[in-house]
Amino acid sequence: MYIRMAILMVVSLYTVRVVYNTLGEQNYGIYNIAGVIIVFFSFLNNGLAQAVKRYITTEIAKGDYESGRTMFGVCVEAHLIVAAIVLLLAESVGLWCVNHLLNIPPGCETATNIVYQLSVATAVIGILQSPYNTVILAYERMTIYAYLSIIEALLNLGVVFAVEFIDGDKLIIYAWLVFAAKLANMLMYRIYATCTFAICRWSFPHEPKLLRDVFGYMGWSLTGQAAVVGTNQGASMLVNNYFGVTLNAAMGLSNSITNAVYAFVSNFQAAFNPQIVKSYATQEWTYLKHLIILSSKMASYLVVIFLVPIIFEIDKVLEIYIGEYSLYTPEFCILTLIAQYIDGMSAPFWMLVGARKDIKVYQICISLVYSMNFFGGWIAFALGADPWSIVAVRCIVSIALLAARIAFAKRYFSALSIREWLSDVLLRSILIIITTTFLTGVAAHFLASLDNIWHIIATTSASLLCSLPLIWFAGMTKAERQMLLNKNNSQR
């Protein structure tokens, strides 16, 4: 899985650079903002995906084949309903928003609408595909998941090379090629899941009670998903309305870079999520407690490894990587990574709460806190704040979300020790990030005379020489170090 992430990260960063330079700043901004509207509606699928992940993983943990097959059929039926709703909303309300609300440069209306329609088609296909991806992860077939992701990365790389050499409107050509690549990848996931897992060979189960249960869970999950959409896509629209597509290009560029970094964390958590749900379903409380602390700790360390060198080298990296980049891109990158650092630590807690059937109170409270990202950014812009202030607001809200999720996790899982989490996760992580930042800053100062590329290499090396030993000796307990050594020896 980590070989997969290394390949994906390199390909992702390379493709962003080529696409940004090939499309140009304006077209790149249009491509990012055109897909925003459809994400507002596809949050319906995100809410359903959480429900499917919870129900299918729980059935697999119980080991009842017939029950699992019935549940999968119910989940597919639910996705068909959601796909129809998304299509209807996208082609009515969404299409109106694209043509009347977005700040699109004159002459780019046709290209924007084509990109939007392809985004709608991709979203609908993705909704119908979602149950099959969930089954692969629920059965923890991480190797196959990695192989298919690598194939997807190679397809994306092929798109980048093709768009450079095909004549015509580069934005429209790029949108069509991206759609084709995603469609091919979705078909590969479906074919593998159908041929491998018996529960994927479904028929309509005619289980209205189960369907109501899934949609009930989905309904409350949607409140949280709507807040996430308001954070990410709502922020993009705010920036678009206050500052135009040039700043959308800056946000899109920073998100591409930070998402490539955070993919390592989400990759790590993808392996932990089914284990947390299964442990909760089978009431293995000691193992569950260990999973939560270890996942939270390691997620924060993974972000630190990338965050510290980026803090010192982001200007030089962007200059070499992109050339002439949009204003405020460095600030967007650094602040987004800080928010992801905090979110990474809190992820195991929402996984734990999501393993329960009743998530009503949790979703209401979390959604209220999460919505402050959008409204806080709106207030900041209205008061004349710089564009990056919307990400600074996100960092503050992420801290509040972390505290709220810990409180809910403790309420539903009494064996969890908040004091142990604070000392074993938070304090260790803060110690590592402060020490690494200070030592890397000293090294960067003495290396100031080096050329850009050599300065980046030297500073990154210095950061790794500081962070990795600190993570091993100060960030991990003796038992955790021994566990990793034993695991390594068993693989030889």
Check if the beta carbon of residue 349 is closer than 8 Å to that of residue 269.
no
* Length in residues, the chain: 492
Burial class (CB in 10 A: 0-12, 13-18, 19+), 297: buried
pLDDT tens digit sequence for 434-451: 999 999 999 988 888 888
Instruction: Quickly state the pLDDT bin for 59 (edges 50, 70, 90).
Output: confident
Mean pLDDT for the stretch of residues 363-386:
88
pLDDT tens digit sequence for 124-181: 888 888 888 888 877 878 778 778 878 888 888 888 888 878 888 887 888 888 888 8
In the chain, % helix, strand, coil (3-state, to 5) comes to 85, 0, 15
Share of the chain above pLDDT 90, in %: 14
Handedness of CA 137, 138, 142, 147 (dihedral sign): negative
Other Cβ atoms within 10 Å of 269 Cβ, number: 19
Q: Could you tell me which of 59, 79, 81, 183 has the C-alpha nearest to residue 131?
A: 79
Give the type of residue at 233.
Q
Return the beta strands (E) in 87-189 as ranges.
none
Token pair recorded at residue 139: 């059965």
Check if the beta carbon of residue 57 is closer than 8 Å to that of residue 138.
yes
Handedness of CA 16, 233, 224, 377 (dihedral sign): positive
Task: Please name the helix (run of DSSP H) or strand (run of DSSP E) that holds residue 283, with its range, or none.
Answer: none
Q: What is the DSSP string of 383-414?
A: TT--TTHHHHHHHHHHHHHHHHHHHHHHHH-T
Other Cβ atoms within 10 Å of 384 Cβ, number: 8
pLDDT of 491 over the 50 cut: no
pLDDT tens digit sequence for 389-406: 988 998 999 999 999 999
Check if the beta carbon of residue 17 is closer than 8 Å to that of residue 26.
no
8-12, 68-72, 360-364, 464-468 — most confident range:
464-468
Q: Could you tell me which of 168, 234, 278, 232 has the C-alpha nearest to residue 398?
A: 232
Burial class (CB in 10 A: 0-12, 13-18, 19+), 38: buried
Could you tell me where the DSSP H helices lie in 244-359? 245-281, 285-321, 329-354
HSE-up (13 A, CA, CB side) for residue 236: 26
Here the contacts of 355-360 (C-beta below 8 Å, separation 24 or greater) are 355/54, 355/58, 355/276, 355/277, 355/280, 355/281, 356/280, 356/412, 357/54, 357/213, 357/217, 359/217, 359/220, 359/221, 360/220
Instruction: Quickly state the pLDDT bin for 36 (edges 50, 70, 90).
Output: low
pLDDT of 295 over the 80 cut: yes
User: Distance between CA atoms of 428 and 387, rounded to whole angstroms?
Assistant: 32
